[in-house]
Amino acid sequence: MFKLGAKSGLARCGVLSTRHGEIQTPIFMPVGTQATVKGMTPDQLTAIDAQIILGNTYHLNLRPGSGLVQEMGGLHRFMGWDKPILTDSGGFQVFSLSELRKVREDGIEFRSHLDGAPLFLGPESCYRIQAELGTDIAMVLDECPPFPCERDACAAAVKRTVRWAGEFLEHARRDGFLERGHHVFGIIQGSTFDDLRQECGTALAAMDFPGYAVGGVSVGEPEEEMLRQVSICAPVMPLDKPRYVMGVGTPPQLLKMIGMGMDMFDCVMPTRLARHANVFTPDGLINLKNERFKHDAAPIMEANNYTCRHFSRAYLRHLIMAKELLASTLLSIHNLHFYLDLMAQARLHIEAGDYGQWSAAWIGRYEAGEA
């Protein structure tokens, strides 16, 4: 169940109820591809107020296998995380294996990137895997068109995406998945073709999913086009359901999309950049390898997270230069907290009614620092 709260322009707050707790939106979801957010323990995620994390259907089915996860009590127990989990369908990962996959009308043939074993993913198997994982929010199987994409190929991908979504939802309904309190989100595809995006979104809306997502963005298209496609999808996404933009983005991008009425986001960027010594600040990214931080006694920024409360830039740079594993953990704590705190600030300003003014000022400062 999703309950809408305050609004400020198109930006909105909400509460999404799941089997493992409530999620306050807008929200950022740390990515735990293989049943772990890289470099982070569940306790560390809880300490930075992570409300929900992601798991990856493709990777978890290959290793260790959804059956083993089910045998171990489900994904929550397996990884020691008692809050909500969303699992993506695996469609994007299969899309990225362009040399190893073949799209059929009933699903996708592909080869494992681990050992080359032949595999197949269709709407039913995609549902079964996520049901065995015990996810709170399951994403339907979709076909993610590449960028650039020919219109005819994209139109065919949209038709398959809509059909597969309906089949996935039917399996979930027939199996009692929804009745047991799990959610299923449909995914809007259509590349950069406005009418195909709207056609896909309209067809999915008619199926009455518990939630909806914008997929196939940030796959190589310019930032302006990515944001435009999100804005094109927004009008056909039901107002009373959560809206999720998959696989994005930078802090300014998230604030811009919240301003379009989007609610949920995920991206590997915070932890990936942390592993490469990059940390977020209100004045843009900084790279702690830089020599100018060698004698810097200040924290990354004034922030209420473990890293900033306890360690200087000089110490963090030392860990990075010494190639100590702790560097990745401490920088990941900071970067994920930065994203989650930004979402908390957004919720406060939506409730205060000044989201547009606040977000424009925040983005202006960040982008000026980046420049």
Cα–Cα distance, 213 to 263 (Å, whole number): 10
Strands 278-281 and 107-111: unpaired
> Are 111 and 125 spatial neighbours (Cβ–Cβ below 8 Å)?
no
**Cα Rg, the chain, nearest whole Å:** 20
Cα–Cα distance, 308 to 305 (Å, whole number): 6
What's the DSSP call for residue 31?
Answer: B
**What's the residue count for the chain?**
371
Cα–Cα distance, 346 to 107 (Å, whole number): 39
Vertex 365: Cα angle to 359 and 370 (nearest 5): 120
88, 136, 142, 263: the active-site residue: 88
240 annotated active-site: no
Terminal Cα-to-Cα distance of the chain (whole angstroms): 42
DSSP string, 241-283: S-EEETTB--HHHHHHHHTTT--EEE-SHHHHHHTTTEEEETT
- β partners of residue 185: 139, 211
Dihedral angle sign, alpha carbons of residues 207, 160, 86, 126: positive
Angle, in degrees to the nearest 10, between helices 251-258 and 223-233: 20
Cα–Cα distance, 130 to 75 (Å, whole number): 10
82, 266, 283, 341: the active-site residue: 266
- β partners of residue 212: 186, 243
266 annotated active-site: yes
Cα–Cα distance, 35 to 167 (Å, whole number): 27
Longest CA–CA separation in the chain, Å: 62
Strands 264-266 and 278-281: unpaired
Peptide bond into 64 cis (omega under 30): yes
Residues taking part in catalysis: 88, 266
